[in-house]
Amino acid sequence: MLQLNTSDTPADREDGEFGDPLQRVWAACVLPYVGVDDVRRVVFRTVTDSTEQERAEWLRRARSEAAALASG
């Protein structure tokens, strides 16, 4: 499974203050019940102050990650 997320919270703050809630929800509440054990997660951040060039790179990376998953 390829999980792509966007976030406006810097990674260190999300991990330190919130404990990466999206990861916890998927890992504890969804994936064990549908038999998914190959999970690739990419988080693109921070969205609010991102540049057009950064967003283009995020799209390129999302395509690359999807292609890698499909071929693997």
pLDDT (tens digit per residue) in 34-69: 998 888 899 999 999 999 999 999 999 999 999 998
Q: How far apart are CA 70 and CA 72, in angstroms?
A: 6
According to DSSP, the residues that pair with 6 across neighbouring strands are 44
Q: How far apart are CA 65 and CA 71, in angstroms?
A: 10
pLDDT value at 15 more than 90: no
Residues 6+ apart with CB under 8 A from 66: 2
| pLDDT score for 21 | 87
| pLDDT score for 19 | 87
| pLDDT score for 7 | 93
According to DSSP, the residues that pair with 52 across neighbouring strands are none
pLDDT value at 24 more than 80: yes
| pLDDT score for 59 | 98
